[in-house]
Structure 1
């Protein structure tokens, strides 16, 4: 990944990172999703999302902070956390609580169409976390969600978000 000069720290500045074409495509989709929701994808938010998309495994906020630093720009932790909050709020990334790290939303990474992140789909994924290699697989099993909805309805509990994290060994690590 190559860093390009960043002329200003303004939120309307050009992103500081030059991402590969497939990442740029995902960033363009994310920018369009934000526009549909009436939100603005700033250069800082775009850089943070791009770095998350570049990682094969979950990435922590301070790792992102280090990767964002250039000779011309040294963002502070609150800047990165604000960008992460925005990306979480708009369903573009997920926080893996167990690892205190972030991954891109599978729909953003894999959908070939514009996926509308409605309130119903923002936080319905389940995560399979490998204890050995730390890979995270996002699944969206609707039966899990429907079961949770049913239980919550019986308890007169209103779901605002869900996060199901299952720890174990991925197929690769289990076969060793």
Structure 2
């Protein structure tokens, strides 16, 4: 089921809060520990307003908050969050975005706005099926997939007068 692009009246604070609650629940379910640094990295990923964020930008944010974080600290936190399905990596941008459905196995499918940088997760099983079937016809077994589609989001289209 596609996730909608955030509307003008989107309550992003509630969005971040929900994501953190879901992450804590998923970590409890898995018996994993969401440390203070991991939680803060996840919160910073979500606080970017649905725009992917890079590891070094996260490192800068942590440093401004007084965390004594080095690149390995951030990358270990990101690896943990990826491994537990709490974030996705946008390959083309070498950046990260929050997962809208942690704990639910799904492939990464994203619509990326070229103007504002917003990323929306599609999570459409039909896309997964088409890719898996095409790969199987070629004798290929898909182990991981990320589909990234560039374009213009509805808000940017409206601002630019594009239909």
- TM-score interval w.r.t. the shorter chain? 0.7 to 0.9
1:34 corresponds to 2:17: no
Q: Verify the 8 A CA contact 2:19 2:100 in the aligned structure 1.
A: no
Does residue 1:59 correspond to 2:53, yes or no?
yes
- Does the aligned pair in 2 maintain the 1:125–1:141 contact within 8 Å? no
Q: What are structure 2's unaligned runs of at least 5 residues? A: 1-12
Aligned to 1:126: 109
Match of 2:104 in 1: 117
Shift of the alpha carbon at 1:130? 1.3
Tell me the TM-score normalized by structure 1.
0.74
- Equivalent residues of 2:54, 2:94 under 8 A apart: yes
- Which residue of structure 2 aligns with residue 44 of structure 1? 37
Q: Does the Cα contact within 8 Å between 1:129 and 1:165 map onto a contact in 2?
A: yes
The alpha-carbon deviation at position 34 of structure 1 amounts to 1.6
Paired with 1:72 and 1:167, the residues of 2 have a C-alpha distance of 36
Counterpart of 1:154? 137
Structure number with higher relative contact order (C-alpha < 8 Å, ≥ 6 residues apart)? 2
The alignment partner of 1:86 has SS state of helix
Q: 1:134 to 1:21 in 2, by over 3 A?
A: closer
SS of aligned partner of 2:145: coil
| In 2, Cα distance between equivalents of 1:81 and 1:117 | 23
1:97 paired to 2:91: yes
1:143 aligns with 2:130: no
Give the number of aligned pairs.
146
Q: C-alpha offsets along residues 86-139 of structure 1, whole Å, 9 cap, x if unaligned?
A: 11111110111122211101125xxxxxxx334xx2xx1311111122111111
SS in 2 for 1:127: strand
TM-score, scaled relative to structure 2: 0.80
Tell me the secondary structure at the aligned position of residue 106 of structure 1: coil
Q: Which runs of 5+ in 1 are unaligned?
A: 1-19, 109-115
Coordinate RMSD, CA, aligned:
2.0
Cα 1:21–1:163, aligned 2, differ >3 Å: closer, same or farther? closer
SS of 1:67's equivalent in the other structure is helix
Kept after mapping to 2: 8 A contact 1:90/1:117: no
